[in-house]
Amino acid sequence: MAKKIVWLVVSCLMVLSLIIASCGGGDEEEEGKTGSEKPVSGGTITLALIADPRWDLISFGGTWPQEQAHQRMYDGNWAKGPAGGYGEGLTDWGQSTRIPEFDTGYLASDYGWEVSPDGTEVTSWFTIREGIHFASPDTEAGRLVGGREMTVDDCVDSWNRPIKDENAQNWQLYPNVRYPTAVKTGPNTFEVTHNYEDHIDATMRENLCARVMAPEVWNAYGYESATEWRHSVGTGPFMITDYVEGNTVTLTKNSNYWMTNLVGPGKGDQLPYIDGFKYIIMTDASTRQAALRTGQLDQMGGMYEEDKDTMLTTARDIKWEARGQWGITPIFMKTDQAPYNDINVRQAMTMATDFNEINEGLYNGLGDIISWPYFRVQGYEPLFVSLDDPDCTDQIKELFTYNPEKAKQLLADAGYPTGFKAILTLTQDAVDYYSIIKDMWEKVGIELELDISPDFGAHIGRAFSITYELISIGTSPNSSYPEQSLYAVRNWVNASLINEPYVDEKAKEVKSLAITDFYASMELCRPLCIYLIEKAYCIPTPRVPTYSMWWPWLKNYSGETSIGYWGTDHWTQWIWVDQDLKASMGY
């Protein structure tokens, strides 16, 4: 159980490390297109993983290699992004994004939902795409499936597994939503019904984890079929054909793949273009950067400004775009007990933090100061509150203006005229940042002790058991909206233990509206975001841009990292390699 919780958060943080920043760079070609040539099939690419995969097909995050071999009912629509300059450009697919209008059917040719006449239930329905076949890897599991056509029964079985199987994180973390059961309703249709208040959250999680596999594989190997790479038999563009622990993961083109290119000169082409790709496991950042610089890697995301600039001094032909944000994990606190149940104390801690000095000194002024409850992500604009926004309140502006004297007064008003002692539980990588906060807070009488968790697993254990006073921990990505777990659920994800009837009521209204009008729901949520910031339930950290970098022989690529909701590296099926250009550049 603990291992699964750790991987859930690791997956979240890996995704959060690639979050959007909507600026750009590199040499722009005519009309923003990455090339008007007709795509050519063939060639391979090499990417990096920062750690060995934690294989688990039915987890929330899955693993990046498994994401290439298995598919969901619906996912992100490549054509809604840049798509080599031929897409709609509504998103840059720079991070996990789940906006209904940006999605499209994958294994489902059509899908939707209907609210019951009495408004108590929502039924989601799916029409399964015909003519999709499983891949045929040269493994025992591959031979068991035999490249047969996928059926609606396969989809029903895979949808129910994260709901009903005790190994699934969805089953473990959401015991109140174990009741739905997907049922076959026709030769190629199925449906699943949820209580109205559960629908939008539950279907988001269930679709995420319902990466379709053949039931005969599960029947033969049980849960091991989700955790052993050799048992991976899906409908995705690639097959996992080799894994050397601590070294590489190799993926090979699925010759049975069904999807064709959606836009551009290659519209209608059979995908994928490349013959396969390899992940090299590189735990050290400098090693990864050296591999990119020398052309051993074709692409790398999540690079910081300084590293990007250094790369451009020695690899001037490389292309780049801002596709992500990064920040030290913020501080949450147990607001169900003193002193943090007093808003004066929480506001004092915020005012005692010189965010501008930190942003300028550490990040060259590039960071967004406010990064909670939601941060800056293309498509989710109504949820992000900036100090420059017209509706940003004077209270928020005062709150984020460094004012140690006002902080002292607020502490005195709360009954702490000489300050108090506080303990912050954190991981080693956050120590330098919070040492700065420690010195700032000392000026107003808050004596901060840094309680360093021995490892990440122990840190998540502290969070899960809520055995902390203050804790620095990651937040859910914007793509989880309108789940609102950060402030409207009663579990460890709501790390500040927010429990306000007003917040719960507004969150329920927002989630209800999102079922019928997602964009209107974000507008409705914005006043709640402002309210939560004013209440100082979280002490945020500046979030700064990160960058995707790639060599110009990688065509039809614009820096995308995640096509859809946690759709990590799904972009690989749409790109092609200009092998002549690569050779002419000496690689």
The CB-side HSE value for 235 (13 A sphere, CA atoms) comes to 26
Query: In which band, very low, low, confident or very high, does the pLDDT at 271 lie, cut at 50, 70 and 90?
Result: very high
In 150-222, beta strands by DSSP E: 183-186, 189-195
Task: Kindly report the number of other CB atoms within 10 A of residue 180's CB atom.
Answer: 21
Residue 75 has pLDDT above 50, yes or no: yes
- 31 exposed, middle or buried (CB, 10 Å; 0-12, 13-18, 19+)? exposed
Average pLDDT, stretch 142-162? 98
* 220 has pLDDT over 70: yes
The residue behind tokens 């550049």 is 585
Q: Is 114 helix (H, G, I), strand (E, B) or coil?
A: strand
Same domain, 430 and 454: yes
Number of domains in the chain: 2
Where does the pLDDT of residue 493 fall: very low under 50, low under 70, confident under 90, or very high at 90 and above?
A: confident
How far apart CA 433 and CA 450 sit, in angstroms, is 11
Bridge partner residues of 123 (DSSP): 114, 193
User: How many angstroms separate the CA atoms of 359 and 369, rounded?
Assistant: 8
Give dist(CA 211, CA 350) in Å, integer: 42
Contact 206, 192 (CB under 8 A): yes
The last residue of a domain, from among 503, 518, 539? 539
**E-assigned strands of 42-172?**
44-49, 74-76, 103-105, 108-115, 121-128
Distance, in Å, from the CA atom of 368 to the CA atom of 439, rounded to the nearest integer, reads 22
Find out whether 555 and 298 touch, Cβ atoms under 8 Å. Answer: no
Of the candidates 358, 538, 359, 544, the one whose C-alpha atom is nearest the C-alpha of residue 435 is: 358
Strand-pair category, 238-244 with 248-253:
antiparallel
Specify the CATH number for the domain of residue 351. 3.10.105.10
Give the pLDDT score at 460: 87
Is the pLDDT reported for residue 8 higher than 50?
Answer: no
Per-residue confidence at 4, pLDDT binned at 50, 70, 90? very low
Identify whether the C-beta of residue 84 lies closer than 8 Å to the C-beta of residue 34.
Answer: yes
pLDDT tens by residue, 247-263 = 999 999 999 999 999 99
Q: Does the pLDDT value for residue 10 go beyond 50?
A: no
Model pLDDT for residues 308-355, shown as the tens digit of each residue: 999 999 999 999 999 988 999 999 999 999 999 999 999 999 999 999
DSSP per position, 279-332: EEE---HHHHHHHHHTTSSSEEEEE-HHHHHHHHHH-TT-EEEEEEEE----EE
Residue 36 pLDDT class (50, 70, 90 cuts):
low
- Cα separation, 506 vs 512, in Å, equals 10
Query: So what's the pLDDT on residue 3?
Result: 37
Tokens for 242?
């080799």
Q: Do 429 and 480 belong together in one domain?
A: yes
For residue 112, give every residue at least 6 positions away whose Cβ sits within 8 Å of its Cβ, in sequence order, or none: 124, 125
- Residues 84 and 155 grouped into a single domain: yes
Does 25 have pLDDT greater than 60? Answer: no
269 and 395 inside one domain: no
Say yes or no: 431 and 532 in one domain. yes
- What does the pLDDT read at residue 16? 36
pLDDT at 5 over 50: no
Q: Is residue 508 located within the same domain as residue 464?
A: yes
374 & 518 share domain: yes
**488 and 570 part of one domain:** no
Question: Which CB contacts under 8 angstroms, 24+ apart, belong to 401-404?
Answer: 401/351, 402/351, 402/352, 402/353, 402/354, 402/355, 402/356, 402/357, 403/351, 404/351, 404/352, 404/440, 404/443, 404/444
- Packed helices 501-514 and 518-534: angle between N→C axes, nearest 10 degrees: 160
Does the pLDDT at position 199 exceed 50? yes
Q: Looking at residues 26-48, what average pLDDT do you find?
A: 71
In sequence order, the 6+-apart residues with CB closer than 8 A to the CB of 337 are: none
Mean pLDDT of 451-474: 93
Longest dimension (CA), the chain: 74
Tens of pLDDT, residues 373-405? 999 999 999 999 999 999 999 999 999 999 999
Kindly report the pTM of this predicted structure. 0.89
Q: What is the CATH number of the domain that holds 11?
A: 3.40.190.10
> Which has the closest alpha carbon to 329: 18, 543, 97?
543
Q: Are residues 144 and 54 in the same domain?
A: yes
Q: Please tell me whether residues 80 and 227 are part of one structural domain.
A: yes
Q: Is the pLDDT of residue 6 over 60?
A: no
Closest CA to 498 of 334, 375, 318, 377: 334
**What's 126-141 look like in SS3?**
EEECCCCECCCCCCHH
**Shared domain check, 152 and 65:** yes
Query: Which domain range does residue 382 map to?
Result: 331-539
pLDDT at 495 over 50: yes
pLDDT of residue 477: 83
Q: Do 394 and 301 fall into the same domain?
A: no
Q: Which of 539, 557, 572 is the last residue of a domain?
A: 539
State the chain's mean pLDDT as an integer: 92
Mean pLDDT, range 96-107, rounded to an integer: 95
